[in-house]
Structure 1
Amino acid sequence: MNKILPRILAATIAAALIAGCAATPQEQDETRGWSAEKIYAEAKAEQISKNYDRSNKLLEKLEARYPYGRHAQQAILETAYNNYKGQEPLLALSAIDRFIKQYPAHPSMDYAFYLRGLVHFNESQGFLSFLSKQDMSERDPQAARDSFESFSQLVTRFPDSRYAADAQLRMGYLIGALADYELHVAKYYYKRGAYLAAANRGKHLLETYGNTKQVEPALGVMVLAYDKLGLTELRDDAKRVLLKNYPDTKVLDPESLQGRAWWAPW
């Protein structure tokens, strides 16, 4: 009997400890019993304080407890914003895409496209560092293209949106950046003797970014590249267009391809 009692006592203590541990998480959950409005307000307060991880945890609780309310819908966008500011672009884009798919008629859809454009725009900053010494042919412009596409969807579908003006400014910036990239690559090919690739890149610039200041030097690359290839008819056509639109051009000097003097940075 004396041996059994300690065993029973030990088992009782162990059971109490297990029960206590199991209850601890709920006892420590300060949001227990909170309304959707209160959780959302607290999440926004943490967001304003730049406590993005804490804000996201609250937003997760909000979605889990009140999945069908308006605050849960907005919580997806707030999560996307937190991840954008917290340097988590993939998580931000995932949340935005989920919002667009689930709530295509939501009144904040314009903001969703705007935020997606911002995420891609931020990701494109390495590509947009044109004054660096890195070889532009090795840069990937996809993030810049994705950013432009998102902003374009915004201004096309929601022209009166409060975000449309800023989106249009960023689109102009991106168009210049992408045209600049094409020009860099065309020059890169020309300097390495890949004249057909250089001419084709110049042609692509004309067809895609025909309203940019990079058109003039792109025509110059085409004239010089076609000349190297012995394609005199194409050379003369490109030269005719160049001189008609830019009669005082100085881009036909082959030596200028070695530097930046023949085209002004946009």
Structure 2
Amino acid sequence: MTSEAIGVSTSRAARFLTVALFAAVLAGCSMFGPPKTKEVPIVPAAALYQKALDDMDRQYYATALKSLEQLDRQHPRDAMVEKSKLMQVYANYRSGKLNEAVLAADRYMALYPNGKDAAYVLYLKGNAYFAQIKDITRDQQLSKDAIDTYNLVISNYPRSEYAKDAKEKLLVAYDQLAGKEMSVGRYYLGQGQYTAAINRFRTVVEQWQTSTHIEEALFRLTESYLSLGLTTEASTAAAVLGHNYPSSSWYKEAFALLGKQGLAPTVNSGSWMAGLRR
């Protein structure tokens, strides 16, 4: 046999041996079956819940959430699940996962709308929205969401310990919305779009009377109405401002602004603002 023939024969034998070894490996694998996955041991619900509480005491919120989620998976019909759902809202809120806290609150309320902790869950949901309220130059949907949620707490659970704090936070949320209206109104005023500006300031005066922007809103109404030549409405806005806030610096400006045109603050009984005097 030539050297070339020997080389070809050796090469074929090597390929055959490789294929045979690969087949043997596959056969060996099939004998032992698929690789086993690591099984999570079943832990009593009470133990998982206590571990979660201990972790939250140490501010290990991510670890606590894992224990609570394990509780839900392993013991879906256990009475502890309701507490677990509650603590998931709390843990997400405390760890700064505010959107997750809102979702967790919605899950709790869907499962336990009349649960004994429903007031607290709604309160935490409102706080999660409240903590995300941005500056007044941005969209204020979060302020509206906070207001809606706090109003649910107040109307559904008026005697709960959370209703009082919800009322206080409402004032801040209202102030955010009023501030947004004022910001847009001032822009329109600066652009000479007086009717559009009036609509914004009127919203503040009619809807957000407890806000810190009410005095300026009445002054801006005076200014806007004067710019349109509506002197009766301008005088009424200034008169209401002076009646409700006589020591306000905004009233002094409104009084001076009217004086430059020989006008004085006077209430027109037919004005939409006439009933705003307190």
Q: TM-score when scaled to structure 1?
A: 0.77
The answer to whether structure 1 residue 123 and structure 2 residue 125 are counterparts is no
Q: What residue number does 1:48 align with? A: 57
* C-alpha separation in 2, matches of 1:202 and 1:163: 32
The answer to whether structure 1 residue 199 and structure 2 residue 198 are counterparts is yes
After superposition, give the CA deviation of every residue in 1:63-116 in whole Å (9 maximum; x if it has no partner): 112212221122222222222233332222112112112211100000111111
1:148, distance to aligned residue in structure 2 (A): 2.2
Q: What residue number does 1:61 align with? A: 70
Aligned Cα root-mean-square deviation (Å):
2.6
The answer to whether structure 1 residue 187 and structure 2 residue 189 are counterparts is no
Letter in 1 for 2:192: G
Report 1:49-198 matches (<5 A).
49-124=58-133, 126-127=134-135, 136=136, 138-198=137-197
Determine helix, strand or coil for the equivalent of 1:123.
coil
Q: What residue number does 2:260 align with? A: none
Q: 1:165/1:11 Cα in 2 relative to 1: closer, same or farther (>3 Å)?
A: same
Determine helix, strand or coil for the equivalent of 2:131.
helix
Letter in 1 for 2:72: E
Letter in 2 for 1:250: K
Determine helix, strand or coil for the equivalent of 2:252.
coil
The answer to whether structure 1 residue 22 and structure 2 residue 36 are counterparts is yes
1:246, distance to aligned residue in structure 2 (A): 3.3
Report 1:205-244 matches (<5 A).
205-244=204-243
1:170, distance to aligned residue in structure 2 (A): 1.7
Q: 1:160/1:200 Cα in 2 relative to 1: closer, same or farther (>3 Å)?
A: same
Determine helix, strand or coil for the equivalent of 2:253.
coil
Structure 1 unaligned blocks of 5 or more: 128-135, 255-266
Contact 2:42 2:74 (C-alpha < 8 Å) held by counterparts: no
Contact 1:216 1:251 (C-alpha < 8 Å) held by counterparts: no
* C-alpha separation in 2, matches of 1:172 and 1:71: 36
Q: What residue number does 1:263 align with? A: none
Q: 1:7/1:239 Cα in 2 relative to 1: closer, same or farther (>3 Å)?
A: closer
* C-alpha separation in 2, matches of 1:22 and 1:51: 31
Contact 2:93 2:128 (C-alpha < 8 Å) held by counterparts: yes
Determine helix, strand or coil for the equivalent of 1:22.
coil
Q: What residue number does 2:268 align with? A: none
Q: 1:122/1:42 Cα in 2 relative to 1: closer, same or farther (>3 Å)?
A: same
Percent of aligned positions with the same letter in both sequences? 26
Q: TM-score when scaled to structure 2?
A: 0.74
